[in-house]
Chain A
C-alpha cells in the first residue's frame, strides 16, 4: 500500500494548503455565527462550539502538514537550493514543490491564528 498519494502533475496542488485554510476559516466563522444567532434555539453551550473548532483545527493542520510533506517530496526533500530556474520539467517541479511548501507554512500559521480566536474568546459577546 502506498502511504503517500501518487505525484500529480498539475498547477492546482499549489493551492491545497490555502484552500484548507479557507475552508477552516469558513467553517469556524459560519459555525460560530450561526450558533450566536440561534443560541436561544439550541441547548448546548459555547464550549461545544469551541470543541468543534478545536477538532476542525486539528484536521486542518493535519491536512496542511500532509500537503507540506508532499510538497517537500516534490521539492526533492531539500536537496536542491532555489532559484529553480532551469528550463527543465524537473526544475519546474522543484519550483512547484518549494512554493507549495512555503504556502503550507503560511497556511499553517494562518490556521493557528484563527484557532487563537476561539482559544481566547469564550463566548459570543454580542
Chain B
C-alpha cells in the first residue's frame, strides 16, 4: 500500500511540476477535461472500489466472531484501571486465575479477550499480535488474538486515560502451550515466597486493604494482584524493572513515579521496613 501510495504521489506531483514549466505545449481545454474525468474520477473510483472490497473481505477474518470447529479455549478478561491492568485467566477447564499488568499466552492457540473498564476509557493493544480494542465503562468488548511465535512483547494503553496515560503498559509473554499450562497452574497457587520474612510488615502496614497475595491474609481487590509480582517482566504497569530498589521507590513515592496514581505514598515508613517489604515482594516468584 505504501509503494502504491508513493507511485500515485509521484505521478500526481510529477504532472504538477510539468504543468508549471514554462516551455511546454499548452494543452487544449478538451484534453484537460479528459484528464479530470479519467485521472480525477474514473481511475480513482475503480482503484478505491477494489481496495475497499479487499479490506471488507479481510475484516471478518481478522476479527473472527468465533472460529467454527474450534473448541472454546482460553479466555482472558482484562479490565483497564487508572493506570494499570487487571487480568483474569479463564481456562476452558478449571477455575479463574487472577493476575495483573502482564499477559501470558500459549503460542498458536486462539485466545479470546473480554475487555472492560472500571473508570475511564482505555484501549488494549498488543502491536505485534493485532489491532487494538477500546475498553469502555459499561460495555464489554471482545477481541481474539493468536500469537504465531514465542517471545516477550509490550502493549501500551492507546486511549488517553488521564495524567499517567503514558505510563500504562503491560508485558506480553508468549510461551509454548505446555509451559503456559504449567505456568498458569503455578500462578493459581500461592508463591513459595508468600510466607517469607517481610510479609508481616506488608500485612501490618495496611497493604492488604488493596492488594492480594495468595496464601496470606492479604485479599484486597482495589489494586493489582501481587501474588507473583516477583516473577513478572515489569513493575507498575510496564514502566520499571522488577527489582528491590524499584519496588522500594514505588512504595515510598508512587505519585512521583506515576502522577495521578491511586496508591497512597508510604514514604513515612522507616526505610528498613520499606526495604523489607520490597524484598518480600521481589521474592513472590
Point out residues on A near B: beta carbons under 8 Å: 81-83, 105-106, 109, 112-113, 116-117, 120-123, 125-126
A105 to chain B: which residues have CB within 8 Å?
Answer: 41
- 18 new A-B contacts, CB < 8 A, other than A81-B30, A113-B49, A125-B65, are A82-B33, A83-B29, A105-B41, A106-B41, A109-B45, A112-B49, A113-B48, A113-B52, A116-B49, A116-B53, A116-B56, A117-B56, A121-B59, A121-B60, A122-B60, A123-B65, A125-B63, A126-B142
Point out residues on B near A: beta carbons under 8 Å: 29-30, 33, 41, 45, 48-49, 52-53, 56-57, 59-60, 63, 65, 142
- Chain B contact residues, majority secondary structure: helix
Minimum C-beta distance from A35 to chain B (A): 15
Pairs A–B under 8 Å by Cβ, sample size 22: A81-B30, A82-B33, A106-B41, A109-B45, A109-B49, A112-B49, A113-B48, A113-B52, A116-B49, A116-B52, A117-B56, A120-B53, A120-B56, A120-B57, A121-B56, A121-B59, A121-B60, A122-B60, A125-B60, A125-B63, A125-B65, A126-B65
B45 to chain A: which residues have CB within 8 Å?
Answer: 109
Closest to A108 in B: B45
Minimum C-beta distance from B51 to chain A (A): 11
A112 to chain B: which residues have CB within 8 Å?
Answer: 49
Closest to B48 in A: A113
Minimum C-beta distance from A116 to chain B (A): 6
A117 to chain B: which residues have CB within 8 Å?
Answer: 56
Bound: A122/B30 CA distance, A: 45
Closest to B65 in A: A125
